[in-house]
Structure 1
Amino acid sequence: MRKIVPLFPNPRPLKGSTFVISLMFYLFWIKKEFAKLIENVLPFRGRGFGNNSNSWRCNAKNKAYYFFPFLLTFLISNSLSAQSTPLPNDPSVRSGRLPNGLQYFIKTNAKPEKYVELRLAIKTGSLQENKHQLGLAHFVEHMAFNGTRHFPKNELINYLESSGVRFGADLNAYTSFEETVYQLQVRNDTAHLHKGLLVLEDWASGISFDPKEVEKERGVVLSEWRNRQGPNQRLEDQYLPLLYGGSRRLQRLPIGDTAVIKHASIETIKAYYQKWYRPDLMAIVAVGDVDPLAMEQEIIRRFGKIPSVKGPKPKVYSNTVNTRRRGMVCTDPEVAFCQAFLYIRQATKEKIKPAPSTYGELRENLCRNLYNSILNRRLIRLQQQADPPFTFAGLGYGSDWGQNPLFSLSVFTSEAKLKTAIALLWQEVQKVQHHNFTSGELQRQKQEILNVLQNQAQAQETTNSANWANQLSEAFVLGVPYPTPQQRYQITQQFLADIDLDDLAGLIRGVPKDKNARVLILTGPEKTRTQLPVLSEMWHMLDSIEAAAPSIPAALEATNVADLPWVDEPLLAQPILSEKTQPEFGVHEFTLTNGIRIVAKPTPFRKDQILMMSSSPGGNSWVPDSLYVNAAYFADLMQQGGMGKFDFVHYQEKLTGKSVNVTPYLSELEEGFSGSCRSTELEDLLALVYLYATQPRFDTNSIASFRQRQENVLRNMLSTPYYQFAELKQRVKYGATPRRGLNRLEDLPILNSQSLHRIHQDRFGDLNDLLLVFVGDFELDQLKTLSQRYLGNLPAQDRKESWKDLGLNLSPGQIDSTSRGGIAPKTLVEYTWHGSFENTSLERYHFSSMVSALQIRLREVLREQESGIYSLSFDGNVEYHPRPVYRITLGFNTDPERDEELMQKAIQVIADFCATGPDAALLEKIKSTQGQNRQKAEQENSFWLAQLHQRYKEGWNLDGLRTEKYLELVEGLNAAVIQAAAQRYFDDKHRIKLVLKPK
């Protein structure tokens, strides 16, 4: 769906959204997003670098490009000291500027084949609104999809969907403070490509602002505002004025003012469009399977005719740094967690730019990245204590909304530990200030950065066009260079070789010392307000720690455990029992003597990527109820404990500089592993599978630590209305069985090492029926050799096992449940239809086609016609075991004053669909989308991994993987079979309706 960039999007510390630095580190430690952190801070992945060329003549690819790697090495060695030297641009990008000021960037890229990613990027956003236009930059973005010069009313979406474009996935847009970007993917044949460019042309200069469409879209924009309402938003409303009082950004949040959205005249809306949608502020980006010369000529022909418009340059707004010490305690009756944020801003003319433009800026970014990453790695040890001081925490350099240098501290913990947690974090900061890091820490983090960039460089030729297009559009907006991944890797490699502890010492000393430029914010549930620390005590504590800093001992150098091999014992290669090849699908199968089956498909789709998925039937269905709580947390505790000689901390150190990842799981009906790695890390991946299966570490310390952190999460969450509603939904659907309930605080003491080992021995102690599927960039002979060693030595007892039917079915009959909770002005609605399913390939196809068609119809009516919602979820799932059943779920939230009306409307849409089926236009949308989705999916490792795993697990043949076979299904799809499917599956005999209205 169309989106507005959230106030706190995915954290990018150097772009200006400061509060999310804490969230960045939270996600970082939980989900092993270390590589992502590095990419964002540098920032290289997805951010992009821009072209500052003022020449209309294009920067074409030429002979020098072929000698570029050699030239680059020479330039790096001679220019690293030239701090103001601009970073290089990708020489394969064809770029230029038209006489009317519009810029363009064109890049040929073959993935996916036969498609082109288009972007219209505009250097304007909510900051340019006047006081009568609050929210209208975002409103204009919405109107771009509701009528243009060549596509009146909803014809734009209708046309694009009929040509296979998915609304939300291939067609999208966003509005931020300083930019608006439209995104579109089209086929590369002449007709579709020209229509795609016509769409961009209309967005740039031909939005129609039809009065009826404007009135309808008001409701959609207000629904988007309503989506954001909740406890976190209310907390922000309290503390943002403390941080950014008087800031233009605080007064121009992209979502805007509801009063303006409701009442702004069409003339006022159009005034923003006419003033700021100008060619001198625009860029066209085209990346994909396209001839760059022909694309350039088409861009010149189409967009060169847009007349130049004189207008002001977008004004740059900075934030004034308040030098008065401030603090605030913020609470809300529905917030579930206690958090603390300490922000220290510097009053300096030097700004931290969103992305580096020069070698000098890149070097500074690398130093900040090293500092942030090493410091936060130290927090893992604190987090893993038996009685951890915090659940999540983060420290580091970034910038505020005005790009002022910022140091921040954030922590998520219980109210009782809030003061202790902040003290420990502040001590870590002071420890580093007085003792620096160790050489081992620095070297490991350098390797981590290089690993990320090397991955990107090696995958450069198989990178998706959307990534390149996003990079180039942000490049234009930020006005910075856009090196290739190979260039970035080579430059960074040179810099990192030169950066030492003395460089970090200079950065460390730069932590702001001004005690008056500090802001402390404490947040928590209203009921715990009296238990939160007093601000004056917190300030005194921070000052005392700072004064005593010289006496804090230095950190010890890490042990050498991370340097040890994964597996000590010699593993003898076990024989391959049988082999089979299916050359038509490029699939090779082999079975080891312990019964383990391996399915392998080498592919060229993504350079240096290997994906793995595995499963063994049984799952926790065989775990008795007395052990179920331990089984529910089993996989998390397995990861938290580590394996072999590596506890969680040493495991993380061992993974430094590697991309390998293995995740064990224990679901209701099966157990197994999923994983991924680089081509050179296949042995690491298989060694981790072996260790998880044979040497898990369920030690009491890791269990106690996990239990405490979970307690911090659950203690207050259980009393929030939305968690209570989620719990109610499960009770209504399944009754009181603990196997379908949500996590409970009283269950945590049950977790223990003995029970976990018992479950592990039963579920992973006999893997003779384990199926493993490997897809990606690997050599088959190497996989076979390593599998014989590591997988061939997995335990097997020759049990013939399956899952156990526990009889946990959805409640039969018609059930209606309405409850009240929450103070946000929105009603939550969820419908579930369910029943038995005839499990054939044709029925599965008809079912999914029916769901896709009805999802579009519901969106068209509830959003586009009724203006009652911003988005909806509509999913259809089939479960094949213990018996084939289906469920279809519809969910949305809406204005409480319209909830009954819209629920009735949704049911009426479904009834009408059952009575008449899809019309010809909707049928064409589904068939076109299916064909294109399949074409793109077949170029992805993830598609083949999921398909092969499912088919081998269920014993299905591979015929359905033939492209022509699937396209025959698509060609034979008609309105009658979709209508018949709807009539079968929307049987109100088994329908559950759950509604949460506000208090």
Structure 2
Amino acid sequence: MKQRINRNPSILALLLSIICSYSWAQEFPDNIEADIPNDLSTEIPLDSKIIKGKLDNGLTYYIRQNSRPENRVELRLAVNAGSLMEDDDQLGLAHFTEHMAFNGTRNFEKNELINVLQMAGVKFGAHLNAYTSFDETVYMLTVPTADTTLEKSLQILEDWADGISFEDEEIDKERGVVIEEWRIGQGAQRRMLDEYLPVLLADSRYAERLPIGTKEILENFDYQTLKRFYEEWYRPDLMAVVAVGDIDPAEMKAEIERRFGDLKAPDKERAREVFDVPAHEDNKVVVVTDKEATFNQIQLFYKEEGLPEPEETFRDYLEMTKHNLFTGMLSQRLNELTQKADPPFMNAGAYYGNIIRTSNAFQQYAVVPENGIERGLQVLLEENEKVKRFGFTETEFERYKKRMLTNYEASYKEREKTESSGYAAEYVRNFLENEPVPGIAFEYKFLLQFLSEISLDEVNALAEEWMAEGNMVAVVMAPEKEGVQVPNEAAIENIIQQVAESEVEAYEDEEIASTLMEDVPAPAEITSEKVIEEIDITELTFANGVKAVVKSTDFKDDEILMTAHSPGGHSVYSDEKYFSAANADGIVQQSGVKDFSGIALQKFLSDKNAAASPFIGELKEGVSGSAAPEDLETMLQLTHLYFTSPREDQETFQSYISKYKSLYQNLLSNPQYYYQDKVMRIMSQNNPRGGGFPTQEDWESVSFDEAMDAYKDRFADASDFTFFFVGNIDLEEAKPLLATYLGNLPATGREEDWKDVGVRPPGGIVDEKVYKGTDPKSMVRISFTGEMPYSKEEAYELNSLIQALNIKLIEEIREKKSGVYGIGANANASKYPYEHYTITISFPCAPENVEDLSQAVFDEIKKIQDNGPTQEDIMKVKETQRREMETNLKQNNYWLQALERAYFTQVDPKNIVEYEDAIEDLNAEDLKETANKYFNFDQYVKVVLYPEETTESADESGK
């Protein structure tokens, strides 16, 4: 369960985040299922595939049949009430109410609700969750449709709407869990938020109603105060039920009417008020610092006066399109500046949308170097002035329109393969925020019809509208550090004024080549072709030794995924050259290929659904990529060029090093990062290649020549590379392309393998305490490690054991002891560089509870060692595994990773689908044996983070 403050971006913004393909010269498709009239005053229609209605009591429902994934349904209960509805004595109780929904209802006592769903293979957290924000509370369920699970899940939704028990004992137990969630949120970011939020949301109720509430009220509220919130705000006119999945819509409609039709509103309904953010005529500046802050950040909010205009008509949709064009083009300009040798910021962007539900703003952000706040702010404002005075260029405009259509075309092509969870999220936003949901067919056809009617002048005019004087808030956040000067509010105001009065030069767009490769080689010979029918893959081998493993699927219409590996990685280089070699891939990715800089390459690919990027890991190097079927050749050309023509650019190298030095400069001032760094160094016995965050000296040790030499060396010989392709790929059509671009990669036939660089965990019992930070919170990490004979069967047993342990850790440590908000164990069985395993259990908690909870974790492990998991837990694990494999085997990404892992570890790839017998044979006795084999209480590492000023009693308890 989580809290959420900001809304999700609109569907348009989500679509614009995808890199896809569209040919600008393409003729207007005549088969798109949407009717687009020319009258822009027409109301935006509701997607015809949605059944939306309202019961007599006011409850809204959304139903859609969708078979991706099969045999699954996404259920949501959305309540249009959050922390804004709380009275002064209820701060945090909207969120607390959400927690109580999992602690007993009319038909499910205490934690029975979670137990029932786990027996159906539903994971708490992954498939069963909820969140509370300022304005809303949303419950989320992803469940199988088999057996009686769907019926029980609808009963759960019904109980959440009007049947939460609120037993006194359960309320008191849950106080501990919620306070631990409050504890997790403490830190530099929260302290700075508390300072700038009252300025950003001045005179608004939002500034006084953060969803987590206050510790004092969470600890001391009386039961009736909590129940009062539920009774007043969980009522049918403020609720929506969403059901999307592999269902019969008519049957689902009847079920919703039967279950929710009798819900009644309270006798005296309180008005569901709308709270705005009052405008202010002047600009406001707030500078906040904190000793534990990690980055220097700038945020600009050009707030819009009044409530957001509703998005109801075609004209509104066209306005949203203009907004996306503007912010997209400006974000690209800002991104270009991050590639400079001495970049003004490491990351920057622009967005138009709401700060909170009732307040829209044109927003910008930038992460800047130490002592770079003034310069970063100045450059950010100068870019705004360039747009205000000169506008965007025609080439930028045409390129981004192509990109926009590319994005929509890709989504349109996948309209029959879209996951149900995406639809469910859309419908929740439609209910809560009135976001239009006309469907992708409408959106795509609308753009095809109207995008050309948007003029560049109309988009450029938004600069004056959005960046008008007044009602703007500039927020600066920075680490509080000796020797570093952070500008005060007056200095920031002075920069804003100076830039407004200064001279700026217009942006110049660079000319981009029209092709990646002018000289394309002839296809090489395919020397062998082997089919593995059991998993429907084909292995191709080319004359240069390169192998390609191809699996054609119909899971997605517009997706081909690729990865490749070759043994070696940066393990083959000395410690002195390690850091240069480890960063060589990132340097080349930013530099580009051939005559294309990184920025030029982004522009070239803006209207194509093709991407490829090289990587160099510890034990292997390779290339990963993705493409639409029509852009497979572009992805392969990129891959070919990353082997044969990596671009060497000193300026890009300096930019890369400068950015990362800045990003890591203050990282360890944050207690969590400091702790992670300590853990990694302890676990590797301070091996320089065993982990830990890079130091400034590490970054300064990176040599341009060494990095480029290492990169070229890793990709000089492709003869031992294996490529994997999974997706909508036609093998016969792909063969000549693979033979052309992979079959002609350079090959020397050298024999090479990775090296074991000797990173090992410490032996015996290691119990370390780390002191960092001022907040009253600790982090505990317990790791069991050792050598093991690697096999698929042994790895499966180990991971099944951890799944069973996780069930018990949540039941005992979170639910019964109320000592943590979250706790989890994970295990990893590795074949390389030596056969070994690592089991890690981690959780945050109050410092004074560290030892008690650690012992409780050990006790749960020992129970399994003595008795094995319960039969009920075994059944939960088995069902979860069946459900996960049921969906995994219809995911391109799962197949890509599984195939790559099988080939690299030299395991028979047919094992990917041979899982049913292993699940069926799983039993408590075998897991008991596995627990005794791998939980060795004579060899483990326990590392605990404590606050710097730990109380004497907490310190003593940790000894």
Q: TM-score, normalised by structure 2?
A: 0.95
State the shift of 1:625 in Å: 1.6
1:580 is paired with a residue of what secondary structure? strand
Establish whether residue 887 from structure 1 lines up as the match of residue 843 from structure 2: no
Aligned-partner Cα distance in 2 for 1:665–1:312: 58
Question: Does structure 1 retain, via aligned residues, the 8 Å contact 2:340–2:655?
Answer: yes
2:530 is paired with a residue of what secondary structure? strand
Query: Relative to 1, partners in 2 of residues 1:654 and 1:94: Cα closer, same or farther, differing over 3 Å?
Result: same
Q: Deviations over 1:794-844 (max 9, x none)?
A: 111112222112221111221111121111210111111011122222212
2:680 to 730, 734, 738: 730
Could you say which residue in structure 2 is the equivalent of 1:387? 342
AA paired with 2:728? D
Aligned-partner Cα distance in 2 for 1:365–1:784: 43
Could you say which residue in structure 2 is the equivalent of 1:493? 448
Could you say which residue in structure 1 is the equivalent of 2:17? 36
Could you say which residue in structure 2 is the equivalent of 1:541? 495
Query: Relative to 1, partners in 2 of residues 1:967 and 1:98: Cα closer, same or farther, differing over 3 Å?
Result: same
AA paired with 2:510? A
1:897 is paired with a residue of what secondary structure? helix
Aligned-partner Cα distance in 2 for 1:838–1:646: 47
1:571 is paired with a residue of what secondary structure? coil
1:420 is paired with a residue of what secondary structure? helix
Question: Does structure 1 retain, via aligned residues, the 8 Å contact 2:565–2:623?
Answer: yes
After TM superposition, list the pairs within 5 Å mapping 1:393-408 onto structure 2.
393-401=348-356, 403-408=358-363
After TM superposition, list the pairs within 5 Å mapping 1:914-929 onto structure 2.
914-929=865-880
After TM superposition, list the pairs within 5 Å mapping 1:836-915 onto structure 2.
836-915=787-866
User: After TM superposition, which residue ranges in structure 1, 4 or more long, deviate above 4 angstroms?
Assistant: 67-71
Aligned-partner Cα distance in 2 for 1:462–1:505: 37
Query: Relative to 1, partners in 2 of residues 1:715 and 1:544: Cα closer, same or farther, differing over 3 Å?
Result: same
2:286 to 317, 321, 328: 328
After TM superposition, list the pairs within 5 Å mapping 1:571-970 onto structure 2.
571-740=521-690, 741-962=692-913, 965-970=914-919
AA paired with 1:969? A
Question: Does structure 2 retain, via aligned residues, the 8 Å contact 1:415–1:532?
Answer: no
State the shift of 1:579 in Å: 0.3
Aligned-partner Cα distance in 1 for 2:670–2:110: 42
Aligned-partner Cα distance in 2 for 1:867–1:208: 18
Query: Relative to 1, partners in 2 of residues 1:408 and 1:301: Cα closer, same or farther, differing over 3 Å?
Result: closer
Question: Does structure 1 retain, via aligned residues, the 8 Å contact 2:609–2:628?
Answer: yes
State the shift of 1:666 in Å: 0.8
2:276 to 312, 318, 322: 318
Establish whether residue 427 from structure 1 lines up as the match of residue 382 from structure 2: yes
Query: Relative to 1, partners in 2 of residues 1:661 and 1:70: Cα closer, same or farther, differing over 3 Å?
Result: closer
Aligned-partner Cα distance in 2 for 1:804–1:9: 48
1:556 to 508, 515, 519: 508
Moved more, 936-945 or 304-313: 304-313
Question: Does structure 1 retain, via aligned residues, the 8 Å contact 2:7–2:357?
Answer: no
Aligned-partner Cα distance in 1 for 2:82–2:453: 40
Query: Relative to 1, partners in 2 of residues 1:222 and 1:566: Cα closer, same or farther, differing over 3 Å?
Result: same
Establish whether residue 987 from structure 1 lines up as the match of residue 936 from structure 2: yes
Query: Relative to 1, partners in 2 of residues 1:486 and 1:411: Cα closer, same or farther, differing over 3 Å?
Result: same
1:462 is paired with a residue of what secondary structure? coil
1:362 is paired with a residue of what secondary structure? helix
AA paired with 1:177? F
Aligned-partner Cα distance in 1 for 2:939–2:322: 60
Aligned-partner Cα distance in 1 for 2:614–2:822: 34
Establish whether residue 474 from structure 1 lines up as the match of residue 429 from structure 2: yes
AA paired with 2:67? A
Aligned-partner Cα distance in 2 for 1:490–1:969: 49
Question: Does structure 2 retain, via aligned residues, the 8 Å contact 1:13–1:397?
Answer: no
The alignment covers a number of residue pairs equal to 938
Aligned-partner Cα distance in 1 for 2:33–2:297: 51
2:457 is paired with a residue of what secondary structure? helix
Could you say which residue in structure 1 is the equivalent of 2:49? 92
Could you say which residue in structure 2 is the equivalent of 1:59? none
State the shift of 1:71 in Å: 7.7
Q: TM-score, normalised by structure 1?
A: 0.91
1:878 is paired with a residue of what secondary structure? strand
Could you say which residue in structure 1 is the equivalent of 2:82? 125
Could you say which residue in structure 2 is the equivalent of 1:345? 303
1:158 is paired with a residue of what secondary structure? helix
AA paired with 2:161? A
Question: Does structure 2 retain, via aligned residues, the 8 Å contact 1:101–1:308?
Answer: no
Aligned-partner Cα distance in 2 for 1:466–1:520: 36
State the shift of 1:479 in Å: 2.6
State the shift of 1:969 in Å: 1.2
Aligned-partner Cα distance in 2 for 1:638–1:247: 48
State the shift of 1:681 in Å: 1.1
Moved more, 599-608 or 177-186: 177-186
Could you say which residue in structure 2 is the equivalent of 1:53? none
1:522 to 464, 476, 479: 476
- Could you list the runs of 5+ residues in structure 1 that have no partner in the other structure? 16-23, 25-32, 40-66
Aligned-partner Cα distance in 2 for 1:508–1:492: 22
Aligned-partner Cα distance in 2 for 1:517–1:97: 39
After TM superposition, list the pairs within 5 Å mapping 1:238-277 onto structure 2.
238-277=195-234
Aligned-partner Cα distance in 1 for 2:68–2:743: 37
AA paired with 1:674? S
Could you say which residue in structure 1 is the equivalent of 2:956? none
Aligned-partner Cα distance in 1 for 2:15–2:494: 34
Query: Relative to 1, partners in 2 of residues 1:9 and 1:90: Cα closer, same or farther, differing over 3 Å?
Result: closer
Query: Relative to 1, partners in 2 of residues 1:706 and 1:437: Cα closer, same or farther, differing over 3 Å?
Result: same
2:855 is paired with a residue of what secondary structure? helix
Aligned-partner Cα distance in 2 for 1:823–1:423: 34
Aligned-partner Cα distance in 2 for 1:953–1:583: 20
1:400 is paired with a residue of what secondary structure? strand
State the shift of 1:415 in Å: 3.7
Could you say which residue in structure 2 is the equivalent of 1:363? 318
Cα RMSD, aligned residues only: 2.1
State the shift of 1:333 in Å: 1.0
Aligned-partner Cα distance in 2 for 1:795–1:223: 56
Could you say which residue in structure 2 is the equivalent of 1:223? 180
1:72 to 34, 41, 46: 34
Q: Deviations over 1:538-591 (max 9, x none)?
A: 32332232123xx43322232133x2x111223121000100112232211111
State the shift of 1:68 in Å: 11
AA paired with 1:799? R
Q: Deviations over 1:270-326 (max 9, x none)?
A: 111111111122121111111111111122122213234452341111011122433
Question: Does structure 2 retain, via aligned residues, the 8 Å contact 1:141–1:174?
Answer: yes
Aligned-partner Cα distance in 1 for 2:683–2:142: 40
State the shift of 1:178 in Å: 1.5
Query: Relative to 1, partners in 2 of residues 1:933 and 1:72: Cα closer, same or farther, differing over 3 Å?
Result: closer
AA paired with 2:680? Q
Aligned-partner Cα distance in 1 for 2:596–2:289: 41
- Could you list the runs of 5+ residues in structure 2 that have no partner in the other structure? 21-28, 949-959
Aligned-partner Cα distance in 1 for 2:474–2:264: 51
Query: Relative to 1, partners in 2 of residues 1:107 and 1:8: Cα closer, same or farther, differing over 3 Å?
Result: closer
Aligned-partner Cα distance in 2 for 1:350–1:912: 58
2:2 is paired with a residue of what secondary structure? coil
Query: Relative to 1, partners in 2 of residues 1:513 and 1:474: Cα closer, same or farther, differing over 3 Å?
Result: closer
Could you say which residue in structure 2 is the equivalent of 1:975? 924
2:640 is paired with a residue of what secondary structure? helix
State the shift of 1:528 in Å: 5.0
Aligned-partner Cα distance in 2 for 1:381–1:479: 35
2:167 to 210, 219, 232: 210
